[in-house]
Amino acid sequence: MCGILACINHPKAAAYRPRMLNMSRCIRHRGPDWSGCVVATEENDADRGSILCHERLAIVGVDTGAQPLVSTDGKLILAVNGEIYNHRQLRKGLKNQKAQFKTHSDCEVILHLYKEHGSDFVKMLDGMFSFVLLDTSVSPHRCIAARDPIGITTFYQGWSYKYPGATFFSSELKALHEECDRIRGFPPGHLYDSSLPEGQETVRYYQPTWWHGDEEGAKLPTTEADLTAIRESLEAAVRKRLMSEVPYGVLLSGGLDSSLIATIAARETNKVAEAQRQRYEERRARKEAVVANGPTDGLPVGLDDDEDQETLAAWPRLHSFSIGLEGSPDLMAAREAARYLGTVHHEYTFTVQEGLDAISDVIYHLETFDVTTVRASTPMYLLSRKIKAMGVKMVLSGEGSDEIFGGYLYFHAAPDAKSFHQECVKRVKALHTADCLRANKSTMAWGLEARVPFLDKSFLETSMNVDAKDKMFSKGSLQEKDADGRPRMEKYILRKAFDLTPPGDAKPYLPESILWRQKEQFSDGVGYSWIDGMKEYANKHISDRKFAQRKERYPESTPDTKEAYWIREVFESWFPTKASASTAVRWIPRGDWGCASDPSGRAVNIHEFAYE
């Protein structure tokens, strides 16, 4: 994951370069490893052109992957934020098998795919990404920009009245908000092509079978849950996301989702460790043979002691990370899960005051005033700083599961299967405004990359087409038991898919206490005092008079609580323009389902019911 910034079709491109470098500095936290900038001017207009900037976080192709990338003929320029998991397969599938690659980066294949397939290549990519590609072989230059299907990477597009005809792109709002008077979040699963007619440049390329399931009249899925397919597709999703040349770990809250990701990652990491161990033992045996018998023809000399130590140090062992207030539910559950999985576990605590002190910085990095996102992002932001300080640059995280399977406790109030499924689809389609935004920006604030296996395209295709009747739960269902004595609680089919001992293993995927632990939203699980502390602070610092005038001050997205007002006020201090505020999206609980207005999971009555 990195940070990208581009200005396309600027009237004075070369002269604008210093300004772009200053703007790019605003997102350098996303890519602390290196910075790059390329300017390309039009052949028939030496002033007009485009500027592409890149702030690099090196995960794959560490030694050679600096960006922006330039094709061997110098005609194509590319800036990418993200990871392309199937880059090796895509390389092998190129028609031109002699295509020259200048780096080991997973992103360079995009240049060659464009040459062979035009803009259609974006449908072939499997990963999380935002990119801007400039084709200077045509006049005017052609720009292709795109964002991954669900919006795991953050991406913005802007325009300025000062530079008619110019278009800006950036990984974060903060690079654009002082320069652009019109800004939008670039829509996930879409492609921008400057060669298309005006007003039609942006088109949807991601068209999964389930996408229109939230629309009236859409056909509801009737496929019975295939537990094996769910399990195997999630395992494959985790496996491909372990592509890394740097230390990695897992965020472990002790809840179902993060624990499932951790147990799969631990098993995959152990497989790699075992393969390395076997190779090491073979080399040690050869060395001992040389020492005992002396060199012989055909018998390679063994490793020296330094090489032995290097091989030992290279054996991978999964690290897990958790955070919470002292004695919080998540810390205790994460400790249990880590002990069971045998991870190298790192546990951090924070105080309510430390969280409150961080709120302003958190909102600066999040670029939103959504209450539930700010609540959950603060501990994640604090944890990410600790993780990066240890030298870890990539983590796996469990975002997306609750949207896919209707795991939030308020889903129990869905009146019927149709409503349940429509809400799942809506929540998945809105992930880029909430949990994906949180996972991306809370971690990238410290140059830490978060990967989210639950949002794998294949896993989504499998899980979003399951009959909603198999996903539904209610108060009464908690008392219902299946043949194995398991309660039909939230995310039942996901739990059931992993309620077994894997072939060739000595123990189940997870202990029962973790696999069948009730859902706790992250902002609740870190300690109930955290949300209570935020509310108490807001009530003290936002006067009744100020709150009474909230509609006058904020006529759009008017805050409905003092906590929301406080958060909005902090957001405005960083991003004072209307263009900036227009990019933020608030999540509003389903009042029509009888849900409380507070987005906390504790506000849902089924939360306490489960403990009765």
Active site amino acids: 2
d(CA 356, CA 19): 34
Residues 6+ apart with CB under 8 A from 540: none
**Contact (Cβ atoms closer than 8 angstroms) between residue 224 and residue 470:** yes
Residue 257 is assigned to a ligand binding site:
no
CA angle 169-10-152, nearest 5°? 5
d(CA 533, CA 436): 25
Of how many residues is the chain composed?
612
Residue 398 is assigned to a ligand binding site:
yes
**Contact (Cβ atoms closer than 8 angstroms) between residue 111 and residue 71:** yes
CA 460 → CA 191, 407, 422, 452, distances in Å? 20, 15, 15, 12
Sheet hosting strand 3-10, strand order edge to edge: 34-42, 45-56, 3-10, 167-170, 156-159, 182-185
Residue written as token pair 């935020």: 534
Buried b (16+ CB within 10 A) or exposed e, 80-98: bbbbbbbbeebbeebeeee
DSSP codes of every residue in 103-126: S--SSTHHHHHHHHHGGGGGGG--
DSSP codes of every residue in 236-280: HHHHHTT--SS-EEEE--SSHHHHHHHHHHHHHHHHHHHHHHHHH
**Contact (Cβ atoms closer than 8 angstroms) between residue 243 and residue 62:** no
Residue 251 is assigned to a ligand binding site:
yes
Buried b (16+ CB within 10 A) or exposed e, 216-248: eeeeebeeebbbebbbebbbebbbbbbbbeeeb
Provide the 3-class DSSP secondary structure of residue 131: strand
Annotated binding-site positions: 106, 251, 323, 397-398
Annotated binding-site positions for L-glutamine: 106
Annotated binding-site positions for ATP: 251, 323, 397-398
